[in-house]
Amino acid sequence: MAKRDGCPICGTATEPEFKPFCSRGCKDRDLLQWLGEGYRVPGEPVDLTRESGLDSARDAD
């Protein structure tokens, strides 16, 4: 993986206290993106109507 020279949010030089970000603001902005589902990891869609399999494993006991 390539090393970044700046903050991944704004590109400003990073500060050791907030690394890899430049400030508390950029660090918080990044966290809010994750919490608000602004960032997504690609993958197959999840079928929420299908059973998870945990209930059927529990019933087998």
Output the known binding site.
7, 10, 22, 26
Nearest to 20 by CA among 39, 1, 38, 35: 1
In the annotated binding site for Zn(2+), the residues are 7, 10, 22, 26
d(CA 28, CA 21): 10
H helix and E strand count, the chain? 2, 0
